[in-house]
Structure 1
Amino acid sequence: MTILNVSAYKFVGLDDLESLRARVVERCEALALKGTILLAPEGINLFLAAPRETVEAFLDWLRDDPRFADIAPKESASDDVPFARMRVRLKKEIITMRAPAIKPVEGRAPHVRPVDLRRWLDQGHDDAGRPVLLLDTRNDYEVAAGTFEDAVGYGLSSFTDFPAAVAADRERFEGKTVVSFCTGGIRCEKAAIHMRDIGIENVFQLEGGILTYFEEVGGSHWRGDCFVFDGRGALDPALAPSDAT
């Protein structure tokens, strides 16, 4: 049986976390889902795995809530469920940055679609003629599995270290178009908002992150695999579990 793996997030204000968690837990248990769902005042972040009809039943239920009506998951397949159990957790943030001034619910970061990023990389500059700098916002062990050619990475042990790393490296970004990227879009969205808020110009996030890039573009300008937070370990650019794991 083929297993559908989905990941998705949405920054949206949530003020009913306890009751929402109870409803989500009830639905997940009824469907025998496995994975992880994080709920926080700033939104939802989810990773689920099951046969397609089961995952789609949960997503249909979730989208009945107007706050999640437009949630758009990224998909990949596996032979087995890569989670041991189902966890639904309440958190202070759905991705921890400890920068309370950053509020994605108040407006998205500017983004570039995968097909446009590939075109920029193919031609060596963006559409305005500026050089493109790719900024990997992930942690060091994720970067070790694979990243874009010539991407800048900070060897982070935690995303909370990102603001200080950027502050010490501002000169690098002058005169360039910066594209922040991460696995699914959530970290690079916060990163792009932070960089914009501290006055760095021409900053975009990669729409949908690496997984959407793989889905829409493949492995162009990428080297290695993409680390994922489940039992598969890493995915190759065809979104298949990597032979290296």
Structure 2
Amino acid sequence: MESTKPYSVLLYYCYSPIEDPEAFREEHHLFCLENNIRGRIIVAKEGLNGTVSGLVADCEAYMNHVKSDPRFAKTDFKVEAHDKHAFSKLHVRYKPEIVHVGLPSIDPNQRTGIHLEPKEFRAMKDDEDVVILDVRSNYEHELGRFKNAVTLNIDNFREFPDKLAELEQYKDKKILTYCTGGIKCEKASAYLLENGFENVYQLHGGIIKYGMEAEGADFEGKCYVFDNRIAVDVNTANPTVISKCYVCGTPSDRMINCANEHCNNHIAMCEKCGWEMEGSCSAECKSQPDKRVYDGTGYYQKNTNHYNPYKGLVRRKKEVHE
């Protein structure tokens, strides 16, 4: 059934060499401005990674623009319908890697885990010789994860290589890695292969695509996303709630950021505690005089006063339409 929502949210990445990433960043930023695209885009020598939003037609133009470049023709866009922009700003940044793990030498185009389409992943995930490995951070897998998945105690993806010793016990198994959109698995699975793991696979398109094409079956809870939606439903087959309110312990899949920006803890919190705690994760955070105003969502956009989308561009604004 075709969606009637006016906006789209796009999640994508593509590992493809960019000879002059800073010049590409400049041109890409300008295209986004001219087509009313907002979001976060990372440009590196190894490729492109982004989550953006815009009107359906603008997002179609953006996808066509990206794919028209031979370097990114194979980009797999995950497209979700939304009722408004999922971002308030546009940021197009140059960084050493399109997903920060500190392994710039690993090239997924040379070697990476075998890609499994969502339906293939669903058919294979319960086999006896399979281990499902979540390569995301704590706050992500605490909100939602695949049933029986192995999770890692990491606060960010940079810590993944440090967990290699913990995974040695699974070397004789088929390891099925997964993450939100697939990008982390490209390097995580390659790193495992580089370190002697032989049977490594990855969920192509990640949790988001799995929800679209395989009903999200056996993904328990919600999926954390990096825009103002914070969390999204993916399971239409057998949904359940696994996260608990950080304050009272009742089942809750409402994800918020602590109102104390010095804490900014990513936690599940029921609506009742959210209001009672004013969006704070503790009494100490609640007492902070400069805490952010809780509006019931738990999402806090950085102050947009004087936001200039042309900041960081070499060209002046007046040159954009010349």
TM superposition score normalised by structure 1: 0.91
Aligned partner of residue 74 in structure 2, secondary structure: coil
Aligned partner of residue 172 in structure 2, secondary structure: coil
Contact 2:207 2:216 in 1 (8 A): no
2:134, 2:95 → 1: CA distance? 24
Following TM superposition, by how much is the alpha carbon of 1:238 offset from its aligned partner in structure 2, in angstroms? 5.6
1:180-219 alignment, distance < 5 Å: 180-219=177-216
Say yes or no: does 1:229 pair with 2:226: yes
1:11 alignment partner in structure 2: 15
1:71, 1:169 → 2: CA distance? 30
2:155 alignment partner in structure 1: 157
Q: Larger relative CO (CA 8 A, sep 6+): 1 or 2?
A: 1
1:194, 1:243 → 2: CA distance? 32
Alpha carbon RMSD of aligned pairs, Å? 1.7
1:70, 1:113 → 2: CA distance? 15
1:50-61 alignment, distance < 5 Å: 50-61=54-65
1:41-82 deviation digits (Å, cap 9, x = unpaired): 110001111111101111212222110112120011111211
Match for residue 89 of structure 1 among 89, 93, 100: 93
1:243, 1:109 → 2: CA distance? 31
Determine which structure has more spread, i.e. the larger CA radius of gyration: 2
1:226, 1:160 → 2: CA distance? 20
User: Are the structure 2 counterparts of residues 169 and 71 from structure 1 closer, same or farther at C-alpha, using a change threshold of 3 Å?
Assistant: closer
1:36 alignment partner in structure 2: 40
1:244 alignment partner in structure 2: 254
User: Are the structure 2 counterparts of residues 232 and 118 from structure 1 closer, same or farther at C-alpha, using a change threshold of 3 Å?
Assistant: same
Q: Choose 177-186 or 23-32, whichever is displaced more.
A: 23-32
1:120 alignment partner in structure 2: 124
Deviating above 4 A after TM superposition, structure 1's stretches of 4 or more consecutive aligned residues are none
1:101-131 deviation digits (Å, cap 9, x = unpaired): 312233443121211121123xx31xxxx52
Contact 2:178 2:185 in 1 (8 A): yes
Match for residue 165 of structure 2 among 157, 164, 167: 167
Structure 2 runs not aligned, ≥5 long: 237-251, 256-322
Q: Percent identity?
A: 33
Structure 1 runs not aligned, ≥5 long: none
Aligned length: 236
Structure 1 or 2: larger strand share? 1
1:77, 1:238 → 2: CA distance? 16
Following TM superposition, by how much is the alpha carbon of 1:243 offset from its aligned partner in structure 2, in angstroms? 7.2
Equivalent residue letter for 1:95: V
1:132-189 deviation digits (Å, cap 9, x = unpaired): 1110000111111100011111121121111110233301x13311001000000011
TM superposition score normalised by structure 2: 0.70
Structure 1 or 2: larger helix share? 1
User: Are the structure 2 counterparts of residues 192 and 153 from structure 1 closer, same or farther at C-alpha, using a change threshold of 3 Å?
Assistant: same
2:199, 2:43 → 1: CA distance? 31
Contact 2:101 2:158 in 1 (8 A): yes
1:135 alignment partner in structure 2: 133
Match for residue 74 of structure 2 among 57, 70, 73: 70
